[in-house]
């Protein structure tokens, strides 16, 4: 494995932002992952594991240690009754896997079409969209335990999945390096139509839509919101949704509804969110004075989606953080709700 020095990280991210890595390595096998970890330990260097670069903001100063890009790929499948089992390498492109699963008529991740990044990143934040999340399909994970220096298998229950979180970004952050993920999908299963836009699109359908049709519509929706990576589209130069939909207590939700009603406004109701007292972060942003297209220097809000912070061409990480802070402070002041960032912030103090 080749270890390089002073490699710019911006080209590896969808925001196209980030300073250099002091050391950089790309691992295409489990042994190379282990080799990189041993190098970091022997050199007393901090280690950061880079996947598809779609859900992170890297500091302008870069990373002072070693950045390990996990490129373990491969896709194998098998059948167990009505279930289809897929073992996918962490470095495999996520949307390519979704496309393959749909082509095999396997349901469970069709609504996660068009999400950029790699397979290994999906368990970390329990990636979800349009009524589905990967926690519902992950059976187990192959990982390197850097604390005990051994390869092991983690079950779904071991991962501690919650809304946009897992042990990988909370209690055990930095301990495990994901090498591959095992998914259990339903062969011949129906598509998920929990999302309101999907329900409206297929409202007049005489028969349930095919998985491929749902995948295509999801990709169209994502593109309309600037959430699909499209060459030449400035709105796709982002890290996707920058804020999580807040999960409130019943009392907090009632207080928020009361504040809205006092202003003659109504909190939008989304069936996919209501069960957990989740509210739309996009609605909170837009009703705090930050409209689509709002710009602060070279950092801006997408013209297509209020949750996407974009690099208009010359933005630095500090510009994105300044805009992020302004939005969080205003939403807290106006609505008493704390917005939590969804991307990983790397290299910041």
Judged by average pLDDT, the poorest of 267-276, 295-304, 307-316 is 267-276
Nearest alpha-carbon partner for 176 in 124, 242, 222, 238: 124
Judged by average pLDDT, the poorest of 88-92, 235-239, 316-320 is 235-239
Fold of 234-346: 3.90.78
Domains 3-70 and 234-346 belong to one CATH topology: no
Of the listed 238, 241, 288, 302, which one is catalytic? 241
CB atoms within 10 A of CB 249: 9
Q: Does the active-site annotation cover 172?
A: no
Of the listed 30, 32, 133, 342, which one is catalytic? 342
- Sheet containing strand 295-296, edge to edge, reads 238-241, 308-311, 299-301, 295-296
Average pLDDT along the chain: 94
Does the pLDDT of residue 269 top 80, yes or no? no
CA distances from 35 to 43, 51, 146, 186 (A): 12, 17, 11, 37
Q: How many Å apart are CA 315 and CA 322, to the nearest integer?
A: 11
Fold of 75-224: 3.30.465
Nearest alpha-carbon partner for 118 in 67, 157, 69, 153: 69
What is the per-residue pLDDT for 59? 98
Report how many helices (DSSP H) and strands (DSSP E) the chain contains, helices first.
8, 18
Up-side HSE of residue 71: CA atoms within 13 Å toward CB?
A: 12
Q: What is the pTM of this model?
A: 0.89
Question: Domain locations in the chain?
Answer: 3-70, 75-224, 234-346
Fold of 3-70: 3.30.43
**Backbone φ and ψ of 200, nearest 5°:** -65, -40
Structure tokens at 317: 């990480």
Q: Does the active-site annotation cover 164?
A: yes
Q: How many Å apart are CA 31 and CA 26, to the nearest integer?
A: 12
Of the listed 142, 164, 219, 237, which one is catalytic? 164
pLDDT mean over 75-95:
93
Q: How many Å apart are CA 345 and CA 109, to the nearest integer?
A: 27
pLDDT mean over 296-308:
96
Q: How many Å apart are CA 58 and CA 273, to the nearest integer?
A: 30
Does the pLDDT of residue 219 top 90, yes or no? yes
């Amino acid at each position: 494995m080749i270890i390089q020095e002073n490699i710019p990280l911006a080209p590896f991210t969808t925001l196209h932002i980030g300073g250099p890595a002091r050391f950089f390595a790309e691992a295409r096998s489990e042994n190379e992952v282990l080799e990189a970890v041993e190098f970091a330990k022997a050199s007393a260097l901090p280690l950061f594991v880079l996947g598809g670069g779609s859900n992170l903001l890297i500091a302008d100063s870069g990373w002072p240690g070693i950045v390990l890009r996990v490129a373990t790929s491969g896709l194998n499948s098998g059948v167990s009754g009505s279930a289809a089992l897929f073992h996918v390498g962490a470095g495999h492109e996520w949307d390519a896997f979704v496309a393959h699963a749909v082509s095999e008529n396997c349901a469970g991740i069709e609504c996660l079409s068009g999400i950029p990044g790699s397979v290994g990143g999906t368990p970390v934040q329990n990636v979800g969209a349009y009524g589905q999340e990967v926690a519902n399909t992950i059976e187990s994970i192959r990982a390197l335990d850097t604390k005990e220096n051994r390869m092991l298998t983690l079950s779904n229950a071991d991962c501690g999945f919650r809304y946009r979180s897992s042990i990988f970004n909370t209690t055990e952050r930095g301990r495990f390096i994901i090498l591959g993920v095992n998914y259990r999908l339903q062969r011949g299963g129906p598509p998920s139509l929990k999302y309101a836009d999907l329900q409206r699109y297929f409202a007049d359908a005489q028969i349930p839509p095919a998985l491929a049709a749902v995948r295509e519509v999801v990709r169209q929706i994502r593109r309309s919101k600037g959430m699909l990576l499209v060459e030449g589209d400035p709105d796709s130069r982002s890290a996707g949704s920058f804020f999580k939909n807040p999960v409130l207590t019943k009392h907090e939700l009632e207080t928020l509804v009361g504040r809205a009603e006092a202003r003659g406004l109504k909190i939008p109701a989304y069936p996919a969110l209501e069960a957990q007292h989740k509210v739309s972060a996009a609605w909170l942003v837009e009703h705090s004075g930050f409209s689509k297209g709002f710009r602060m220097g070279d950092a801006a809000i997408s013209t297509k989606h209020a949750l996407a912070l974009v690099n208009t061409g010359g933005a630095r990480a500090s510009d994105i953080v300044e805009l992020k802070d302004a939005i969080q402070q205003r939403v807290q002041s106006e609505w008493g709700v704390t917005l939590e960032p969804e991307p990983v912030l790397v290299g910041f103090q």
